[in-house]
């Protein structure tokens, strides 16, 4: 192996999870922060849990509401335009 090209290896690297769980492992990083670990992941716990990272569900609901509002506005504009056309034809 070549000398001085490999990163420093930490055999006792600490891993901190968002749920509060900590454990040690080997890594090139001394401390690691994770959002999900085996103590809180649904696959290992057997409990289903909604994980909403960065409010993705809320963002989706906001986009859906905005799209519905635009559809209604477009329908109102089209109805007004059609009514104006019908008046022009009658006159």
Q: What is the pTM of this model?
A: 0.46
**What domain range is 75 assigned to?**
56-91
Question: Residues in the chain, how many?
Answer: 91
Q: pLDDT class for 73, splitting at 50, 70, 90?
A: very high
Residues 47 and 12 in one domain: yes
Residues 46 and 62 in one domain: no
Mean pLDDT of the chain: 88
2 in a domain, yes or no? Answer: no
Question: What are the tens digits of pLDDT across the range 49-67?
Answer: 666 666 788 888 999 999 9
The count of other CB atoms within 10 Å of the CB of residue 38 is 11
Percentage of the residues of the chain whose pLDDT score is greater than 70 = 92
Q: Give the list of residues 6+ apart from residue 31 with CB closer than 8 angstroms, or none.
A: 13, 14, 15, 16
Residues 30 and 14: beta-carbon distance below 8 Å: yes
Question: What are the tens digits of pLDDT across the range 21-38?
Answer: 999 999 999 999 998 888
Q: Give the list of residues 6+ apart from residue 44 with CB closer than 8 angstroms, or none.
A: 38
Q: How far apart are CA 15 and CA 78, in angstroms?
A: 58
């Amino acid at each position: 192996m070549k000398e001085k090209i490999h990163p420093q290896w930490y055999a006792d690297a600490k891993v901190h999870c968002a749920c509060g769980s900590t454990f040690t492992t080997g890594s090139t990083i001394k401390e690691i922060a994770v959002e999900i670990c085996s103590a809180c992941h649904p696959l290992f716990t057997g409990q289903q849990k909604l994980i909403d990272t960065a409010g993705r569900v809320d963002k989706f609901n906001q986009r859906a509401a905005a799209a519905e509002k635009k559809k209604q506005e477009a329908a109102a504009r089209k109805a007004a335009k059609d009514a104006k056309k019908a008046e022009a034809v009658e006159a």
